[in-house]
Structure 1
Amino acid sequence: MEKSFNTRSMIFTLYGDYISQYGNVIWIGSLITLLKEFGHNEQSVRAAVSRMNKQGWLTSEKKGNKSYYYLTDQGKSRMKEAARRIYNTEPPSWDGKWRLLMYSIPETKRHLRDELRKELVWSGFGLLSNSCWITPNPLEKEAQSLVKKYEISEFVNFFQAKYEGFATNKELINQCWDLTEVNERYSNFIKTYSQKYIIDKNKLEKGNMTDGSCFVERTLLVHEYRKFLFVDPSLPQELLPEDWLGDSAAFLFKDYYELLKEPATRFFESTFESGGMTYNI
């Protein structure tokens, strides 16, 4: 299979969907074997793992002549938040409040400002105006965690507020997020994966799909669906457009995931090695 996915990104997917269910630790040899299914070679896997180690997502432990990699607290927190958003098919309810995060980070710390922007987008904040980010979701803990992580408390202010401006709440949403574009992405996802779901369901019913194929398809399904974490702010139902396709995509993802779950897990377990550490299922 040709390599068509970023190695580091694929490793995140494997940790989120599989390894986190098995104590968050895996032998590097097992990781290399699993990623070969997607066209990644040993060199690219080792390089990606090294980067993730330096970035604070992974840490390692030697056991004999083998290296085992497990998620740091930062990595566990990210996987937990991603799983909550990926596998939750119901939009959150809204308490009618907005959360505002504003910062004034000096130019000398520009690299922190750039990192913070990426983290805010991933968490579900939208940019209302220069250095002013908002969300209707209760992301107080996420905001506190980011401020602590980057040690920028002196440059940041955080508020809860009720909007009493001159537009509607939905119009405010449209200033911060391009939901039309997100909806188009959901439409493309549904078109592609509804067809693949039918094909794979027929294959499984006829016994024409191996455990390895199920592992590959389930991992690619999660990998593709995980991309919505970077564009969909997971808005409450009250603030979504009437033709919103996010719910339909979520149910399709859940059905397809469950279809492939058992054989895909069998394949993973046949390759997985944790170094004798206790599973966390």
Structure 2
Amino acid sequence: MKTKEFISKATDGLIGSAVNGVLWYLFLVGASFGKSKTSYGMHKAFREADEALNEFNYDTFKHVLSYLRRLKLIEKKKTYTGFEIEVTKLGKERLAQTIPKYMEQRPWDGHLYVISYDIPESRHHSRNTLRDYLKRIGCARLQESLWMTPYNPRVILDEFMEEHGIAGTMLISKLGKDGAIGEEDLPSLLERVYQLKKLNERYKDFLSNLRNRRMNVFQVAVKYQSILKDDSQLPFALLPKDWLGDRAYTEFRNYVKLYNRPVV
């Protein structure tokens, strides 16, 4: 896999930059470089640690590593045989803001919330920002300006609208769990707007590759968390009976623990 694919395609937009990509790799895999004390030696060891990094340009690597150290996101520690690179507390905090998390607890009030808004064309930037935010908090689009979520969004959306100067342009309606939109029943609606079948197939493929040991720990993390990024993590009561997301999380967590690496 080429470097640009490692950053953009393999992570599917999950990491967002070479800086975060290297930081995440160091956190998951660690870096112990033995007697090699030069940056070039570090780069060679780093590339050899994973095929995904074979084409990682030395100058880029050196720049990124230096940048991470300046930001105090990593630190260099001496050992008896050489030195190690460790991700600092600050670096772990940065990753925690970047990497999606599995929600083990999903309290649900039994309602669905339908969000509609009417933002003037002259405020197209605000409208686009709102759309991105709705996606980020797990809402699914029903129509152009109509979204839904099973989690009560009133507080965070009121704050968002006020902050961006578009208060009063949104309406939030509440439906019961037996409600319907149009002629679709709830299970069909959820499957369609949240793409649950496709997502479940991705989890199935991940579990198959994991059990057949086709991936190393870094590839496992990239694969799993790229799927989790697209998972709105619906309340467990709304998920299909054959849902594999919880099993994928359990096996991912157990696999990472085998390498003595914490789950972000």
TM-score bracket for the superposition, by shorter chain length: 0.5 to 0.7
Residue 191 of structure 2 contacts residue 197 of structure 2 at CA under 8 Å; is this kept in 1? no
Instruction: Report the Cα distance in structure 1 between the residues aligned to 2:135 and 2:64, rounded to whole angstroms.
Output: 23
Equivalent residue number for residue 121 of structure 2: 107
Higher relative contact order (CA 8 A, sep 6+): 1
Equivalent residue number for residue 6 of structure 1: 7
Residue 123 of structure 1 contacts residue 142 of structure 1 at CA under 8 Å; is this kept in 2? no
How many pairs are equivalent?
Answer: 217
1:68 maps onto 2:71 in alignment: yes
SS of aligned partner of 1:134: strand
Q: 1:129 to 1:231 in 2, by over 3 A?
A: same
SS of aligned partner of 1:232: coil
Long gaps (5+) in structure 1: 20-28, 50-59, 71-75, 201-216, 266-281
- Please, which of 115, 120, 125 is the counterpart of residue 139 of structure 2? 125
Deviations 1:224-261 (A, max 9, x none): 22212432110112211121111121111111111123
Letter in structure 2 aligned against 1:68: L
Q: 1:96 to 1:220 in 2, by over 3 A?
A: same
Cα displacement (A) at 1:126: 0.7
Choose between structure 1 and 2: higher helix proportion: 1
Instruction: Report the Cα distance in structure 1 between the residues aligned to 2:217 and 2:63, rounded to whole angstroms.
Output: 25
Letter in structure 2 aligned against 1:67: R
The 5 A counterparts of 1:175-190 are: 175-190=192-207
SS of aligned partner of 1:95: coil
SS of aligned partner of 2:231: coil
Instruction: Report the Cα distance in structure 2 between the residues aligned to 1:126 and 1:108, rounded to whole angstroms.
Output: 24
Q: 1:184 to 1:93 in 2, by over 3 A?
A: same
The 5 A counterparts of 1:206-217 are: 217=216
Q: 1:81 to 1:162 in 2, by over 3 A?
A: farther
Instruction: Report the Cα distance in structure 1 between the residues aligned to 2:63 and 2:149, rounded to whole angstroms.
Output: 36
1:153 maps onto 2:167 in alignment: yes
Instruction: Report the Cα distance in structure 1 between the residues aligned to 2:170 and 2:99, rounded to whole angstroms.
Output: 25
Letter in structure 2 aligned against 1:250: Y
Equivalent residue number for residue 245 of structure 1: 244
Equivalent residue number for residue 194 of structure 1: 211
Cα displacement (A) at 1:149: 5.7
Q: 1:259 to 1:125 in 2, by over 3 A?
A: same
Residue 91 of structure 1 contacts residue 234 of structure 1 at CA under 8 Å; is this kept in 2? no
Instruction: Report the Cα distance in structure 2 between the residues aligned to 1:121 and 1:46, rounded to whole angstroms.
Output: 35
Equivalent residue number for residue 82 of structure 2: none
Q: 1:45 to 1:145 in 2, by over 3 A?
A: farther
Equivalent residue number for residue 41 of structure 1: 57
What TM-score results when the alignment is normalised by the length of structure 2? 0.62
Instruction: Report the Cα distance in structure 2 between the residues aligned to 1:102 and 1:48, rounded to whole angstroms.
Output: 43
What TM-score results when the alignment is normalised by the length of structure 1? 0.59
Residue 142 of structure 2 contacts residue 148 of structure 2 at CA under 8 Å; is this kept in 1? yes
Cα displacement (A) at 1:131: 1.0
Long gaps (5+) in structure 2: 9-15, 28-38, 74-92
- Structure whose alpha-carbon radius of gyration is higher: 2
Deviations 1:100-124 (A, max 9, x none): 3322223233344334323322321
Of the structure 1 ranges 36-45 and 183-192, higher mean CA displacement relative to structure 2 is found in 36-45
Q: 1:105 to 1:120 in 2, by over 3 A?
A: same
